[in-house]
Amino acid sequence: MATIEFATETPRITTRPAVVARLVNALADSYRAWKNRRAFYRLGEMSDAELADIGLTRADLHVAIDVPFGRDPTAKLRAIASDRADTIEDLARKVA
């Protein structure tokens, strides 16, 4: 009978650290998204020329802000900028 009691206790012991780790990761992700969203709003204060220097347009900011609140809009901006860079590189290869 002791084996059965031990077997029923084991899952609770091993799941507690996993639950705590998931909670800590969720809090860390939320904090990172909040911090990046604040940095994203600072991008809106830049001029169009400054945005062009880093490979973005004002329209990119409007597209990226439509992500849900818990998500990171800078990840969407990164995807937009890399897609644009890939397209420009493809066009340059076709011309050359």
User: pLDDT tens digits, residue range 60-77?
Assistant: 999 888 888 777 888 888
Residue 56: per-residue pLDDT: 86
Q: Which one-letter amino acid corresponds to residue 73?
A: P
- Smallest CA-to-CA distance from 56 within 37, 76, 35, 38 is with 76
User: pLDDT tens digits, residue range 27-72?
Assistant: 998 888 888 888 888 998 999 999 888 888 899 999 888 888 777 8
User: pLDDT tens digits, residue range 80-90?
Assistant: 888 888 887 77
The DSSP symbol for 67 reads S
The DSSP symbol for 71 reads S
- Smallest CA-to-CA distance from 60 within 47, 72, 42, 78 is with 78
Answer for the pair 64, 33: CB distance below 8 angstroms, yes or no: no
The burial class, CB within 10 Å (0-12 / 13-18 / 19+), for 46 is middle
Angle, CA of 89, 48 and 69, to the nearest 5°: 85
